[in-house]
């Protein structure tokens, strides 16, 4: 009888106990993503294409606006980075193709479009990832938008004031005792624009590291333990994307990337964040 009464009691739930299936779901904590929900892969791809289209439209619009002023920009850049005092009349650009000037003007205008589109790219990336981000991660991403533009401007200025004058002075010094040096418009501006655009992206390294660490994708110690791998990657990328057969420009860019990488890690260690 005692066993039967215990079995009967065990099958009877208390009156105030709610079945598991009828309980209200636990409210999300303030740290949880507010709009974190599953989406079909096709919807993700469609949204990503739309976000990229916005960036392309912005870059194209700035390119169209800058195109009428591109010839003035060409003259300004040319006579600022070419060492005129050492070349004299030989410093004037040489055209070896009938469309060289037109293509160079398009490239100059496109560089302006790429630089201005960088913060838009960061912002569109934020909008794409926003539903799955925590509130503190959203704050970091929004702060990255103006920071990206400032870093791009610093990168272009670094190329304009330091890297390009040093490279072209080296070119003149390297060849002046052997031959008469003539700068072709197309290849010379390929180097100028490539370095300016490349360094605008390179100077985003501190921002990328900060965002990755703040969002928990990596840690400062993990990056520090693999610094030699990053240095080798920087060297390979610089030689791949910097059109300078002498190796001077890739070496300068590599040193810049390593300096940005190491200074960011040092700052994180020094601040304890």
pLDDT, position 264: 93
pLDDT, position 22: 46
Distance (Å, rounded) from C-alpha 44 to C-alpha 30?
A: 25
Return the structure tokens found at 256: 């810049």
Q: Across the strands, what pairs with 184?
A: 94
Q: pLDDT 10s digit of each residue in the chain, 273 long?
A: 445 544 444 444 444 444 444 444 444 444 555 555 566 767 778 888 888 898 999 999 999 999 999 888 888 888 878 776 655 556 677 777 778 888 889 988 988 888 788 778 878 887 887 777 777 777 777 777 788 888 888 998 998 888 888 888 888 777 766 666 777 888 888 888 888 888 988 999 998 898 888 777 889 999 999 999 999 999 999 888 776 777 788 898 999 999 999 999 999 888 876
SS3 annotation, 1-53: CHHHHHHHHHCCCCCCCCCHHHCCCCCCCCCCCCCCCCCCHHHHHHHHHHHHH
Q: What is the DSSP letter of 92?
A: S
pLDDT, position 27: 47
- Where do the domains of the chain lie? 40-271
pTM to 2 decimal places = 0.68
> 149-179 burial, b if ≥16 CB within 10 A, otherwise e?
bebbeebbebbbeebbeebbebbbeeeeeee
Distance (Å, rounded) from C-alpha 106 to C-alpha 70?
A: 8
pLDDT, position 20: 47
Q: Are 260 and 267 in contact (CB under 8 A)?
A: no
Signed CA dihedral, 249, 255, 258, 261: sign only: negative
């Amino acid at each position: 009888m005692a066993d039967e009464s215990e079995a009967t009691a065990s099958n009877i739930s208390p009156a105030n106990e709610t079945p598991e299936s009828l309980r209200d779901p636990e409210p999300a904590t303030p740290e949880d993503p507010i709009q974190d929900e599953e989406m079909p892969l096709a919807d993700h791809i469609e949204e990503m294409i739309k976000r990229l289209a916005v960036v392309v439209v912005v870059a194209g619009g700035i390119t169209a606006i800058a195109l009428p002023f591109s010839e003035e920009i060409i003259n300004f850049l040319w006579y600022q980075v070419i060492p005129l005092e050492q070349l004299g009349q030989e410093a004037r650009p040489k055209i070896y193709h009938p469309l060289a000037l037109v293509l160079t003007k398009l490239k100059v205008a496109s560089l302006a479009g790429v630089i201005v589109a960088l913060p838009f790219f960061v912002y569109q990336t934020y909008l794409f990832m926003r539903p799955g981000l925590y509130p503190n991660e959203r704050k970091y991403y929004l702060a990255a938008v103006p920071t990206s533009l400032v870093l791009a401007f610093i990168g272009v200025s670094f190329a304009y004031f330091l890297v390009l004058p040093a490279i072209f002075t080296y070119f003149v010094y390297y060849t002046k005792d052997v031959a008469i040096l003539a700068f072709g418009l197309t290849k010379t501006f390929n180097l100028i624009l490539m370095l300016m655009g490349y360094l605008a992206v390179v100077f985003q390294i501190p921002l990328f590291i900060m965002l990755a660490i703040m969002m928990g994708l990596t840690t400062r110690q993990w990056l520090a333990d693999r610094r030699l791998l990053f240095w080798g990657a920087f060297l390979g990328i610089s030689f791949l994307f910097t059109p300078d057969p002498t190796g001077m420009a890739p070496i300068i860019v590599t040193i810049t990337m390593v300096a940005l990488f190491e200074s960011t890690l040092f700052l994180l260690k020094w601040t304890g964040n």
